[in-house]
Amino acid sequence: MSPKSTALVVGGGIGGLGSAALLGKRGFEVTVLEKNALLGGRANYFEADGFRFDMGPSWYLMPDVFEHFFALLGERVEDHLDLQRLDPSYRIAFRGTDLEVDMFSDLDRDVETFERLEPGSGQALRTYLDSSAEQYAIAIDQFMYRNHDSFFDFIDRKTAVQGRQLHVFENMHKYISRSFSTDTVQKILEYQLVFLGSSPYNTPALYNIMSHIDFNMGVFFPRGGIYSIIQALEAIGTKHGVTYRTGAPVAQILSDGGKATGVRLESGEVLHADLVISNADMAHTETELLEKQDRTYSARYWSKKTLAPSAFILYLGLKGRVPSLTHHNLAFGQDWKRSFGQIFDSPAWPDDPSYYVCAPSRTDESTAPEDHENLFVLVPVAPGLPMSDADIATYRRRTLDLLAADFDVPDLESRIVFERTYTSRDFSADYNAYGGSALGLAHTMKQTAFRPNNISKRLSNLYYVGASTNPGIGMPICLISAELAYKRIIGDTSSGPLPV
């Protein structure tokens, strides 16, 4: 009996865990090496004073992708996750007005809301979402689950025709403005781009598919929190023989004769393998873990890339309930374009920020002590923004003042019984995040079509998964990246999802 092929996965984020489970099921002997004490990467969590906080991702979207991925592993999502569809999906407060709206991912109800905000926009929303659904199907079938090695992979007859239907050369704001005229409605259809770490003014209009994901597919929450997804992938991997080592930071990816041969840990321990998959931040992998001759991308290459925003985060435990909040809440500033400019064009602390509040205890009371509320408050800020302790203290005060006013949270400061701040400095320290980005590379026009590839040009058996390679940012998208790397390894060149 021949020995099993061996694989090392550097980094235990969702893409790395997905890759490990797929290879384990295939029969590989797989070891996941994670620098932190817990698996999960940015999808981490912590507990304190009776509160349980998901630290990063908090939206469960694209349930079809999760269902497909679990099916690839011979599993059912419902056997691992207790999903609840949120009702409403989210609440939006518009600063400078008395307007507050709830969106339900229920087309009839959402059409009524749009009609109130912009007469005539209800039918426009139906038409827009029909097109968005069609474009989502094209993206899934021809682009998202397909490995691309050159520009010519995009220009065969079928993909060229379908690619034009995706409006890849038009930005989202211009595309939305053709169908919707009011600032209010445009913002509702553009906010999803924050999930992609991008601005509506430089993101290709193909990402109108996010509206299909939002309005047509619904927003869900797994009871126990987002970290339950990580625990499910770990359990499935364990079932297939995957070994997990936490507290095991990698210092170097080793090579010999143009092949990756294993890794050296910071402890000095050397591990050998037939192939290596890096789920670590890709810029970190290329500039820190590989010798210069083994790098596909130089430090100069990364310095020219547009990063997704970082985040100023407050984890708050409050005494008493906050009925003015639902599970997901968004506050929109008045000058949308200026706010995006302060993130992408002229980095500065946003003076009229849009921000997000997750209150999971509104859905799952186990995330907070009785008669308390668990809040995750996230303000997108420019990556690499200089920040002193004084800056952080000042912006904390600014954020709390806005939260209290935008969502009518009385006596906010006096009700805080637990507080933790998390900034770009933490993203860099905890996840080796280039520039302190919370997400990776932004989905700009150029970086959507030409993201760093998921296979090394220098080492024949080194692969990449995660948010900075194809197809991009987000938990379900990182699962697709795991499937794409797996396709590389098994020699599958198909364009759509693998059959289950």
Q: Does 166 have pLDDT greater than 80?
A: no
pLDDT tens digit sequence for 53-104 = 999 999 999 999 999 999 999 999 999 999 999 999 999 999 999 999 999 9
pLDDT tens digits for 295-349? 999 999 999 998 999 999 999 999 999 999 999 999 999 998 899 899 988 999 9
Report the DSSP beta bridge partners of residue 243: 31
Read off the pLDDT of residues 424-483 as tens digits, 9 standing for 90 and up: 999 999 999 999 999 999 988 788 778 899 999 999 999 999 999 999 999 999 999 999
**Per-residue model confidence as pLDDT tens digits over 183-217:** 999 999 999 887 778 888 888 888 899 999 999 99
DSSP 307: B
Q: Calculate ∠ Cα 285-192-222, nearest 5°.
A: 80
pLDDT surpasses 80 at 152: no
Q: Are 265 and 450 in contact (CB under 8 A)?
A: no
Contact (CB, 8 A) for 326 and 90: yes
At 424, the amino acid letter reads S
Domains and CATH numbers, the chain: 6-82+224-305+443-490 (3.50.50.60), 106-217 (no CATH), 306-431 (3.30.519)
pLDDT tens digits for range 119-147: 999 999 999 999 999 999 999 988 899 99
Grade residue 1 by pLDDT with cuts at 50, 70 and 90.
Answer: very low
Pairing of strands 259-265, 328-332: unpaired
H or E segment to which residue 405 belongs: helix 389-406
**Predicted local distance difference test score (pLDDT) of residue 148:** 84
Helix runs in 51-96, H state only:
63-72
Look over the chain and give the mean of its residue pLDDT values, rounded to a whole number: 93
Largest CA distance in the chain: 72
> In the predicted model, is pLDDT for residue 155 greater than 80?
no
pLDDT over 60 at 254, yes or no: yes
Residue 174 CA: distances (Å) to CA of 57, 167, 199, 205, 210: 28, 11, 12, 8, 16
Q: If you compute the radius of gyration of the chain from its CA atoms, what whole number of angstroms results?
A: 22
Closest CA to 440 of 196, 200, 277, 229: 196
Residue among 166, 73, 120 at smallest CA distance from 498: 73
Find out whether 357 and 329 touch, Cβ atoms under 8 Å.
Answer: yes
| Separation of alpha carbons 89 and 183, rounded Å | 21
pLDDT (0 to 100) of residue 499: 95
- Asked if 400 and 392 touch (Cβ cutoff 8 Å), the reply is no
Whether the predicted pLDDT of 163 surpasses 60: no
Predicted pLDDT at 382: 95
